[in-house]
């Protein structure tokens, strides 16, 4: 059994969205996969490569192909620590009796699945149908026997017992965590990071697929244990799969259980010592824990600031795994040279473009898989420099889905060109064009004589104000600013230079100035699907005061920043900035009371970066899809997500999260919806 | 009502505005005028004291309402002690003198409400002392209402200012109808006849003798009472801090903004009573006094976290109580507080976090606010927010159309509905009760300290 299966459970992925996308790599990897130490699977090589899938069908095939790797253990586990996504929620009892308790069963099923995995995923998919019955028949004997003897109790023991055992067995092995690094490095120390990773992926994919099939088989065969109805369904669905597949893009609301899986994966919690330890071991950027940490924010990384930069700069020329362009952007994040959601996102995408331009597919690798791994490693490097913004997460998710969706018959250069143009299009459509549309919408809300208040420095709001000024509207701008970044000053300078009449004040005085304000325009880092506006810290204060003074609050946010996550407060998920900037007040030499604060016991400085504005403070959100109330955000998230084909893959991504259970118990089935026929692989039968 | 329109300080025609701002804040042109107007008989040293204090107030050299209150009370004490009092109507004369000084003090810094409060308190003290002496004397005389009237008439004749009102007020308005004063009053008036004065048949002499003793007694009593007041002011936070244990529980999280001696003592008192709790201190831009408070608290062993003001809303959901100091408490229960507190109060209300205001009794102002955000506010120098040098160049290139306007107010107004509780040196009170509390400290006659243009009180 693959030890890596257990590992990830101990890890929480801080940025879920692209994670899940990153791991539905097609199972053809199994061909290049390393020989498994415990089991060499001859069948794998027999299986058809997905590369042979006819291009016309690639959408549906992608769907299918991605399903098995969805069970990839790495993914799977990153969700394990979260409360809401405990495997129990998604893999409840009915099927689990099929699982033998203890390592016995896992070993058996592991081997078994490994054997079959390649075949199942690769050979059956291209044909567009699943000859599952045969598989089941083959698989049944090995699994059914233990299954029938099992009780739910044993299953519970199983899920608890295995992890520990395996943890022990793989002690000293490389940690599996955020960085998506290989688990097999112990065995193959010489392979490169990416290679190792790819290999492992392949293994996992094969295994997962096989297991899924195996479980299904067991489910049908041992229908006494599993729900008979559900076991029966899959076959039927699968028959229709090929027919249904082409229409998938039309989209349809996934069934209840799939939607459940749609929920974003929990982030890494930094108060979990073991996970942090593991994360540290593979970090490119060496972070030192801040000494006076704020207790309430133990779950967020609290590092010493300023210590990593010299080290990273020194290593600029000999750091192999990260492309120089990405490296540079990372450093710019670290120093704060690039900030603002849009700027960071664009910088990152452009760096990725550079990296893709220089990318060469290594021998015996497929572009899709290897590049996904590469991007993931870049991303984890960027996270070390500064936690990703939600907009960046969405962009990465987009990129990964594009990579994964690359038609397999494309040559390397064609694939690269397609990716480059995809990225280019993302930047121009989702960011630049979106901004223009937002400006067009929002300008209609500015009338002569208005006094507009804005907070901090939002690129969208700035464009709106400048555009309205160009249109000759007579209005006044109030720029509210807050420590420590004082970004409002930059905005103020640009506005004043353009000839707008401005007032400037600090956030404490907002209730003083709000009397004269007629509209509040705010930027946002993200809009979450419960309507919460996740934005620069202080935005909530402004919106609250505006609400109290009955001033309409207009939030300007591109739709690519929307996210399906929900959040009620600003504590659970946030980013902490450098606490030192709080003690030094820029331009105020007279304020130096907190010098040497780090040596004062009992004293902490907290530099929050974001806060969450409740949706009832927001009158309107201006996006590229028009002006909507905050209650409509989930609709946009859904529609927008659907528009991106990656939306469906996300589901599989979430499957990945729970794959350890899946490996044991998941009953994969293909369900075909009756109407517009969306083909979805779901594991809703447990 | 105090109505001082404050010009907003801008950068646009920077120099002119800076000049006007300077004039506003440092203007000493009218001190001379004040001296001329100041026509009361007075020792020169008192006059200089008053002028010094006026200057300090105008230049905003005195920080904090407690310090201001104390200094005001001390000044008024010396005014009273130096005041030559006529044999008759000594109370009126004292009141007149105090009013004259008080008026100037209030005009010197109208937003520092503590000055006005103390002036009114002193006036109230004079009236009270006079009344108690008068009642004592009258009880001793056993005179009827007729002689009472006569007394009033006589006063009227003697004083340029009508003392009739004062005397009449002595019975009706001076004493607020609180149960406590009523109870105190009863034994007073029913007290055994004083022997100090006899029946008044030979009006002229015996009365003047009687008054001579009363004069000295009155002045003495008033000074005693003012001393008590000063004592109260300087120890008010001890009394407030005593109540800390009743409000702060174990493991609570307290949020405060800016710095206040009262808050510091309050929190420390709870800490001393072995309560362990955490404190979030918002730094309170643009003065950043939160830094000082945080350092003090940490030095005294409290778990303290400094947050930016903008993070208040983010943190308030984890806070159990907001405890802040105030600049002044208005009669309606509204609070004039350091800038930013309105925001904090709104956030606290949103999350149903109790918003507790600590205020010594010298901060209780008997006035009802009207548009206090503007009228009881003060705009400070823009240099606290923006470096002028940085923006001077873009002002030049602005080609005249753009203008920059920097707003840096000092105070916020927190309406009474956002305040959960006031803790004063006399205990905890609801905002709606403040008017009543205030009535205990001030007499209705003194609400307007300004002398009317025509003679007459």
Chain B segment 400-439 residues within 8 A of A by beta carbon are 401-409, 412-413
Distance CA A69, CA A654 (A): 11
Nearest to residue A186, comparing CAs of A208, A207, A169, A202? Answer: A169
Put simply, whether A497 touches B (Cβ < 8 Å) is yes
Along chain B (457 residues), what's the average pLDDT of each consecutive run of 10 residues? 44 42 43 42 73 90 88 91 81 88 90 91 91 82 49 43 43 50 48 40 48 70 92 91 92 92 93 92 90 93 92 93 94 93 95 94 91 89 84 61 84 94 93 90 85 51
Contact call for A602 and B346, based on CB within 8 A: no
**In the numeric block, which tokens belong to residue A215?**
């479980």
Place of tokens 């509210």: A480
Place of tokens 């009180």: B457
Any idea how long chain A is? 686
Write out chain A residues lying below 8 Å of B396, CB-based: none
Distance from CA of A474 to the nearest CA of B (A): 11
Nearest to A545 among B278, B288, B346 (CB): B346
Put simply, whether A1 touches B (Cβ < 8 Å) is no
Distance from CA of B297 to the nearest CA of A (A): 9
Contact call for A511 and B405, based on CB within 8 A: no
Distance CA B188, CA B181 (A): 10
Contact call for A507 and B314, based on CB within 8 A: no
Nearest to B312 among A506, A541, A593 (CB): A541
Opening angle at CA B405, ends B400 and B411, nearest 5? 170
Write out chain A residues lying below 8 Å of B384, CB-based: 588
Beta strands in A133-240 (DSSP E): none
Put simply, whether B375 touches A (Cβ < 8 Å) is no
Q: Which CA distances in Å does A164 have to A158, A169, A200, A275, A417?
A: 10, 9, 21, 15, 46
Do A230 and A667 form a contact (C-beta atoms < 8 A)? yes
Q: Is B396 exposed, middle or buried (0-12, 13-18, 19+ CB in 10 A)?
A: exposed
pTM of the model: 0.67
Distance CA B456, CA A319 (A): 89
CATH code, residues B242-446: 3.40.50.10470
Chain center to CA of B133: 27
Put simply, whether A520 touches B (Cβ < 8 Å) is no
Put simply, whether B288 touches A (Cβ < 8 Å) is yes
Distance from CA of A303 to the nearest CA of B (A): 16
**In the numeric block, which tokens belong to residue A288?**
């030192």
User: Side-chain half-sphere of B324: how many Cα atoms within 13 Å?
Assistant: 35
Q: What backbone torsions phi and psi does residue B386 show, to the nearest 5 degrees? A: -130, 145
Opening angle at CA B323, ends B318 and B327, nearest 5? 140
**In the numeric block, which tokens belong to residue A255?**
């069934």
DSSP state string for A591-615: --TTTTGGGSTTEEEE-B-EEEE-G
Q: Which CA distances in Å does B169 have to A449, A550, B128?
A: 53, 45, 11
Put simply, whether B342 touches A (Cβ < 8 Å) is yes
Question: Residue B278 in 3-state DSSP?
Answer: strand
Nearest to B377 among A483, A512, A544 (CB): A512
Q: What backbone torsions phi and psi does residue B329 show, to the nearest 5 degrees? A: -115, 125
Distance CA B228, CA B233 (A): 9
Q: Which CA distances in Å does A302 have to A271, A278, A485, A538, B9?
A: 10, 16, 18, 21, 41
Contact call for B407 and A503, based on CB within 8 A: yes
Question: Residue A485 in 3-state DSSP?
Answer: coil
Opening angle at CA B174, ends B173 and B179, nearest 5? 85
Put simply, whether A509 touches B (Cβ < 8 Å) is yes
Residue of B nearest to A611 (CA): B314
Q: Which of A455, A483, A506, A612 to mutate to test the interface with B (most CBs of B within 10 A)?
A: A506
Question: Residue B326 in 3-state DSSP?
Answer: coil
What integer pLDDT is reported at residue B182 of this predicted model?
52
DSSP state string for A235-296: HHHHHHHHHHGGGGGG--PPPHHHHHHTSPPPPP-TT-HHHHHHHHHT-SS---B-SS--GG
What integer pLDDT is reported at residue A299 of this predicted model?
83
Phi-psi region of B93 (alpha: psi -120 to 50; beta: other; left: phi over 0): alpha
In sequence order, the β-bridge partners of residue A626 are: A623
Chain center to CA of A286: 23
Distance from CA of A346 to the nearest CA of B (A): 27
Write out chain B residues lying below 8 Å of A604, CB-based: 304-306
Any idea how long chain B is? 457
Contact call for A611 and B391, based on CB within 8 A: no
Nearest to residue A208, comparing CAs of A277, A85, A104, A113? Answer: A113
Nearest to B343 among A505, A545, A570 (CB): A545
Residue of A nearest to B390 (CA): A493
Measured distance between the N- and C-terminal CA atoms of chain B, rounded to whole angstroms: 17
What integer pLDDT is reported at residue A424 of this predicted model?
94
Put simply, whether A541 touches B (Cβ < 8 Å) is yes
Domain assignments of chain B as residue spans, ordered by start: 11-236, 242-446
Chain center to CA of A492: 35
What are the residues whose beta carbons fall under 8 Å from the beta carbon of A110, sequence distance 6 or more?
A: A1, A2, A5, A38, A39, A207, A211, A663
**In the numeric block, which tokens belong to residue A413?**
């250069």
Chain A segment 262-321 residues within 8 A of B by beta carbon are 294-296
DSSP state string for A21-44: HHT---TTHHHHPPPPSS---HHH
What are the residues whose beta carbons fall under 8 Å from the beta carbon of A610, sequence distance 6 or more?
A: A525, A534, A535, A536, A537, A570, A574, A575, B314
What are the residues whose beta carbons fall under 8 Å from the beta carbon of B213, sequence distance 6 or more?
A: B196
Distance CA B241, CA A84 (A): 45
Put simply, whether B255 touches A (Cβ < 8 Å) is no
Distance CA A507, CA A480 (A): 6
Place of tokens 């905050």: A630
Write out chain A residues lying below 8 Å of B386, CB-based: 489, 504
Do A526 and A539 form a contact (C-beta atoms < 8 A)? no
A303: DSSP letter: B
Nearest to residue A521, comparing CAs of A565, A468, A471? Answer: A468
Do B419 and B333 form a contact (C-beta atoms < 8 A)? yes
Intervals of chain A under pLDDT 50: 1-189, 214-254, 644-686
Q: Which CA distances in Å does B16 have to B11, B20, B23, B312?
A: 9, 6, 10, 37
Distance from CA of A604 to the nearest CA of B (A): 5
Distance CA A150, CA A95 (A): 11
Residue of A nearest to B351 (CA): A569
């Amino acid at each position: 059994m693959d030890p890596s299966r257990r590992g990830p459970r101990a890890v929480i992925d801080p940025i879920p969205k692209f994670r899940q996308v990153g791991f539905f790599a097609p199972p053809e990897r199994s061909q290049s996969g390393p020989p498994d130490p415990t089991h060499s699977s001859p069948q794998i090589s027999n299986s058809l490569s997905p590369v042979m899938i006819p291009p016309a069908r690639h959408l549906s095939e992608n769907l299918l192909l991605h399903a098995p790797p969805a069970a990839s253990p790495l993914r799977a586990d990153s969700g394990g620590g979260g409360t809401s996504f405990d495997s129990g929620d998604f893999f409840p009892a009915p099927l689990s009796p099929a699982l033998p308790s203890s390592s016995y069963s896992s070993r058996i099923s592991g081997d078994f699945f490994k054997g079959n995995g390649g075949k199942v995923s690769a050979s059956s998919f291209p044909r567009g149908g699943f000859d599952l019955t045969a598989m089941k028949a083959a698989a049944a004997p090995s699994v059914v026997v233990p299954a029938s003897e099992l009780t739910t109790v044993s299953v519970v023991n199983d899920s608890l017992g295995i992890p520990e055992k395996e943890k022990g067995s793989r002690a000293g092995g490389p940690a599996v965590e955020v960085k998506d690094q290989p688990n097999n490095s112990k065995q193959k120390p010489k392979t490169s990071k990416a290679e190792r990773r790819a290999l492992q992926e392949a293994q996992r994919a094969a295994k997962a697929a096989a297991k899924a099939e195996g479980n299904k088989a067991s489910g049908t065969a041992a229908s006494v244990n599993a729900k008979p109805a559900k076991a029966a369904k899959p076959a039927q669905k699968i028959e229709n799969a090929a027919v249904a597949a082409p229409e998938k893009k039309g989209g349809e609301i996934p069934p209840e259980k799939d939607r459940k899986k749609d929920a974003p994966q929990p982030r890494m919690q930094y108060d979990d010592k073991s996970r942090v330890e593991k994360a540290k071991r593979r970090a490119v950027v060496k972070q030192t824990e801040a000494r006076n940490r704020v207790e309430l924010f133990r779950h967020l990384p609290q590092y010493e600031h300023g210590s990593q930069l010299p080290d990273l700069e020194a290593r600029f020329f000999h750091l192999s795994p990260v492309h120089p362009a990405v490296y540079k952007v990372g450093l710019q994040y670290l120093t704060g040279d690039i900030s603002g959601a849009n700027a960071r996102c664009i910088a990152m995408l452009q760096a990725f473009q550079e990296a893709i331009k220089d990318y060469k597919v290594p021998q015996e690798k497929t572009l899709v898989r290897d590049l996904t791994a590469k991007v993931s490693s870049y991303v984890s490097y960027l996270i070390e420099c500064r936690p990703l913004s939600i907009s960046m997460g969405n962009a990465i998710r987009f990129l990964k889905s594009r990579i994964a969706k690359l038609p397999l018959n494309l040559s390397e250069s064609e694939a690269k060109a397609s990716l480059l143009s995809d990225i280019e299009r993302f930047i121009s459509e989702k960011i630049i064009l979106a901004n223009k549309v937002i400006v067009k919408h929002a300008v209609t809300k500015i009338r002569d004589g208005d006094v507009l208040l804005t907070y901090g420095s939002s690129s969208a709001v700035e464009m709106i104000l400048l555009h309205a000024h160009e249109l000759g509207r007579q209005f006044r701008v109030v720029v509210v600013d807050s420590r420590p970044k004082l970004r409002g000053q930059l905005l103020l300078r640009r506005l004043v230079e353009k000839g707008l009449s401005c007032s400037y004040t600090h956030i404490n005085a907002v209730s003083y100035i709000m009397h004269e304000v007629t509209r509040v325009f705010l930027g946002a880092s993200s809009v979450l699907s419960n309507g919460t506006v996740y934005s620069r810290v202080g935005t909530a204060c402004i919106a609250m005061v505006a609400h109290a003074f009955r001033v309409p609050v207009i939030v300007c946010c591109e739709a690519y920043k929307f996210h399906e996550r929900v959040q009620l407060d600003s504590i659970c998920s946030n980013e902490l900035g450098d606490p030192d900037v709080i003690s030094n007040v820029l331009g105020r030499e007279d304020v130096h009371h907190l010098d040497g604060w780090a040596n004062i016991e009992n004293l902490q400085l907290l530099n929050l970066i974001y806060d969450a504005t409740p949706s009832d403070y927001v009158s309107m959100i201006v996006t590229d899809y028009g002006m909507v109330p905050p209650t409509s955000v989930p609709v946009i998230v859904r529609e927008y997500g659907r528009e991106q084909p990656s939306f469906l893959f996300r589901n599989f991504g979430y499957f990945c999260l729970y794959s350890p259970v899946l490996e044991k118990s998941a009953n994969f089935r293909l369900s075909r919806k009756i109407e517009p026929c969306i083909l979805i692989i779901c594991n809703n039968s447990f | 009502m105090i109505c001082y329109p404050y010009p907003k300080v801008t950068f646009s025609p920077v120099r002119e505005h800076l000049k006007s701002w300077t004039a506003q804040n440092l203007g000493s042109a009218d001190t001379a005028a004040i001296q001329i107007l100041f026509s009361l008989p007075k020792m020169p040293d008192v006059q200089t004291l008053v002028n010094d204090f006026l200057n300090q107030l105008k230049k905003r050299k005195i920080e904090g309402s407690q310090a201001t209150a104390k200094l005001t009370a001390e000044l008024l004490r010396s005014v009273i002690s130096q005041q030559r009092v006529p044999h008759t109507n000594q109370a009126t004369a004292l009141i007149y003198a105090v009013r004259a000084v008080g008026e100037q003090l209030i005009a010197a810094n109208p937003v520092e409400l503590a000055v006005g409060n103390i002036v009114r308190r002193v006036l109230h003290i004079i009236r009270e002392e006079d009344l108690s002496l008068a009642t004592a004397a009258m009880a001793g005389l056993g005179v009827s209402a007729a002689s009472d009237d006569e007394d009033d008439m006589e006063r009227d004749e003697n004083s340029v200012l009508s003392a009739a009102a004062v005397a009449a007020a002595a019975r009706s308005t001076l004493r607020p109808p609180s149960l406590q004063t009523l109870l105190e009053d009863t034994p007073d008036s029913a007290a055994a006849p004083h022997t100090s004065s006899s029946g008044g048949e030979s009006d002229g002499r015996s009365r003047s003798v009687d008054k001579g003793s009363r004069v000295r007694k009155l002045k003495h009593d008033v000074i005693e009472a003012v001393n008590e007041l000063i004592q109260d002011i300087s120890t008010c936070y001890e009394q407030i801090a005593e109540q800390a244990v009743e409000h702060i529980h174990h493991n609570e999280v307290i949020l405060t903004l800016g710095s206040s001696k009262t808050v510091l003592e309050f929190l420390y008192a709870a800490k001393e009573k072995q309560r362990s709790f955490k404190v979030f201190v918002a730094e309170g831009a643009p003065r950043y006094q939160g830094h000082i408070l945080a350092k003090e608290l940490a030095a005294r062993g409290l778990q303290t976290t400094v947050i930016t003001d903008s993070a208040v809303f983010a943190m308030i959901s984890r806070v159990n109580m907001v405890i802040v100091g105030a600049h002044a408490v208005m009669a309606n229960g509204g609070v004039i507080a350091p800038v930013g507190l309105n925001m904090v109060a709104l956030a606290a209300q949103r999350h149903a976090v109790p918003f507790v205001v600590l205020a010594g009794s010298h901060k209780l102002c008997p006035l009802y606010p009207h548009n206090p955000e503007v009228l009881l506010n003060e705009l400070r120098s823009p240099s606290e927010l923006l470096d002028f040098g940085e923006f001077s160049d873009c002002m030049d290139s602005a080609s005249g159309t753009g203008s920059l306007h920097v707003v840096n107010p000092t105070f916020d107004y927190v309406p009474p509905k956002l305040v959960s509780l006031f803790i004063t040196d006399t205990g905890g009170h609801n905002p709606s009760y403040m008017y009543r509390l205030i009535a205990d400290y001030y007499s209705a006659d003194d609400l307007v300290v300004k002398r009317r243009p025509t003679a007459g009180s």
